[in-house]
Amino acid sequence: MSNSKIGLEILSGFKTKKGRTIYIDCAGLPDPITMGISFRYHNYDDVTLYFRIKAEGNPDWTFASPVNLGALGSGSDARYNWDNMGQRPNPNAELEETITLTLEAYTDSEYTDLKWTYSRIVTIKFIKSDDGSWTVDVLNDFDDGTVQGWSYDLYKDALLVSFDVASDYAISPPYSLKLKYKSDDYNELMWGCIYKSFTTPNKSEVFAIINVRMTSEESLRALEIKRDDTILALLGDKTWAKGDVIPRDKWIRVVVPLPANTTLTFKIILYVYFVDRGHLASIWLDDFKIISR
């Protein structure tokens, strides 16, 4: 069975010499740790195929059941954010391990006639920001009641409702940072962005740790993390379509590497597909860190 007629790209994490690496800061995370993963899959065959994704290959992980992704036409591709893909005990220490994602393609909607498979190995690298080996160069917890230098920007058809500290949800009470906006048009993909400029330390390892929470009266399509115009992480799918693609109403943590000794503008962007005018969307940020060693 060849795998030349389908393709799988892991979108979560970063390209390294070992392939794709996802960083997780396990400090303060619950036990067990739950992870999601984003990917793009391709159909290079001449016929419509029915796709399924499964995770396997590491005894420390408990993986969710395989997900049926449905039909994908010849020459097409699609994105998927697999929330709650797997769980493992919190190692509470630095650790590197791998998992395997396998894409399967079937000729029938009952998923009985398997035609192609394609696998990718993903490296998971745990760091522990409070183990004493890291310097916390930036900590924005907003507990002084200010926005601590953060600003906001909005898509042209989005209107500001509020941008300030908030006490409704927080990683470390009493406050988090909250941007709330609403649509001033309909049938549009709109975004709200929170951003701040930093100069990173001149160290061999530099990471940003982002804790965010998102909600909306409409469809949550994507969360994008950027430094200037460079995309560091993209969860979800920036398309004009109904339905959530990223998690809502819960805190998620994203860890991204940063270049050393560089002045940059760090951006956190929430994309929402609004069907109706006047509907709301919100994004919270708390305990944002830049660490180095």
Interval 184-224: pLDDT, tens: 999 999 999 999 999 999 999 999 999 999 999 999 999 99
Residues 277 and 162 in one domain: yes
CA distances from 95 to 30, 59, 90, 98, 123 (A): 16, 15, 10, 10, 10
pLDDT at position 113 over 70: yes
The pTM assigned to this predicted structure is: 0.91
> Contact, 28 vs 130, CB < 8 A?
yes
Give the largest Cα separation in the chain, rounded.
60
pLDDT at position 257 over 80: yes
List, for residues 258-274, the tens digit of each pLDDT value: 999 999 999 999 999 99
Mean pLDDT of the chain: 95
pLDDT at position 177 over 90: yes
Query: Last residue of some domain: 82, 97, 127?
Result: 127
Residues 148 and 186 in one domain: yes
List, for residues 19-59, the tens digit of each pLDDT value: 789 999 999 999 999 999 989 999 999 999 999 999 999 99
Q: Looking at residue 15, what is its pLDDT?
A: 76
Q: How distant is the alpha carbon of residue 213 from its chain centre?
A: 11
Q: Looking at residue 20, what is its pLDDT?
A: 87
Within a domain: 72: yes
Residues 146 and 199 in one domain: yes
Q: Looking at residue 42, what is its pLDDT?
A: 97
Q: Looking at residue 3, what is its pLDDT?
A: 55
Q: What percent of the chain has pLDDT over 90?
A: 89
Q: Which domain holds residue 16?
A: 6-127
pLDDT at position 1 over 70: no
Number of domains in the chain: 2
Which CATH number belongs to the domain containing residue 170 in this structure?
2.60.120.260
Among residues 39, 14, 11, 9, the alpha carbon closest in space to that of 24 is found at 14
Among residues 84, 129, 80, the alpha carbon closest in space to that of 255 is found at 129
Within a domain: 1: no
Among residues 194, 174, 177, the alpha carbon closest in space to that of 140 is found at 177
